[in-house]
Structure 1
């Protein structure tokens, strides 16, 4: 019997409270070659002017989108792999007059914390995220950064610089095959650091 999807593991019974379009694009079994792609448009991709100083580090770790724009076409590829239980993401942003920008990461369910997942980018840098189902939406709230090294999870105080992340994916009430998403990194003193938002379609693959 196959294991339940990563977010179903994290949410437990609350999985059934997600909107149908949200469940459908995350119903991928760990230890499989399941694949889903959604396509859409980012109405805004933005970062604070001073955040440009962080971009060299962001590009090194594959963690930040270095460009800005409006009405940016995007596709997001989700896949599982037969050799592990992780969920892999490849977000491909199409900024005008630039090569496609890939933001890649993978998510693991943290069984010890129940409703948490960890999103990892390069070199073992991860963000702990509490997962919840709220009014049909899948919501992620930042619980801090870690560095996975030699089997250890070392807390990192990156939130002092980057702020706290909030992400949601919410069913579009006007169309059963569409959903909206937004991501916000907000610093308690400096305000918004990064944000992007858009609308996506889940269609036949």
Structure 2
């Protein structure tokens, strides 16, 4: 089984550094690191609504401990993000990724709303450019331009080592400028490899 990114990139998958191949592996994997989240104060109420709908995190902060767990089911990749705020409150942001025949990725944040992006591989990492949003209401499917919502999506992911990468996600609106950004540095591993590391690090209980 291939992950959505591996399917869409095709032969270009081999261009990705090891850290990003692990990050997007079809095997269950986990990323651990820290996120910086920033957006203008006037966007707080719209983001509160979006968060209740399953989209984005409605809290700014620096070096917020973050875990991302991913697993494949029936050709789709499910992302479970867990962000810990100062004071211990935990915010969740989950989504579902699937490949499209036109070379794009669709990320669904709930049963109604999805973001479409086109990825491109480079020697040091991966870049995404948003192509629009999809709104589903029953049998009706509407394709919405980026400017109608939060603007143009860009994501840049850069390998920093064999198991470490930096990511930078931004939403830029043609009228209002940068509306949302989260960025951070993560260490990535398959869950199988993570289990081996934890067992190796644990002291032996044998007598």
Residue equivalent to 2:87? 97
Residue equivalent to 2:77? 87
1:138 aligns with 2:126: yes
- Which residue of 38, 55, 58 corresponds with 2:50? 58
1:116 aligns with 2:104: yes
1:192 aligns with 2:178: yes
CA apart distance, 1:149: 3.7
The answer to whether the Cα contact below 8 Å between 1:55 and 1:66 also exists between their aligned partners in 2 is yes
Residue equivalent to 1:202? 188
Alignment length (residue pairs): 191
Cα distance between partner residues in 2 of 1:5 and 1:71: 29
C-alpha RMSD of the superposition: 1.6
The correspondence of residues 8-23 of structure 1 with structure 2, limited to 5 A, is: 8-23=6-21
Structure of higher CA gyration radius: 2
Cα distance between partner residues in 1 of 2:114 and 2:51: 15
Using the size of structure 2 for normalisation, the TM-score is: 0.86
- Which residue of 105, 110, 113 corresponds with 1:125? 113
CA apart distance, 1:131: 1.1
Gaps of 5+ in 1: 29-33
Residue equivalent to 2:97? 107
Q: Which digits, 9 at most, give the CA deviation of each residue in 1:42-93, with x for residues without a partner? A: 2x21111221131232123211210011111101111112xx1100101111
Residue equivalent to 1:156? 144
Residue equivalent to 2:33? 40
Residue equivalent to 2:157? 169
Gaps of 5+ in 2: 195-207
Aligned to 2:45, the other structure's residue is in SS state helix
Using the size of structure 1 for normalisation, the TM-score is: 0.87
CA apart distance, 1:21: 0.9
The answer to whether the Cα contact below 8 Å between 2:22 and 2:29 also exists between their aligned partners in 1 is no
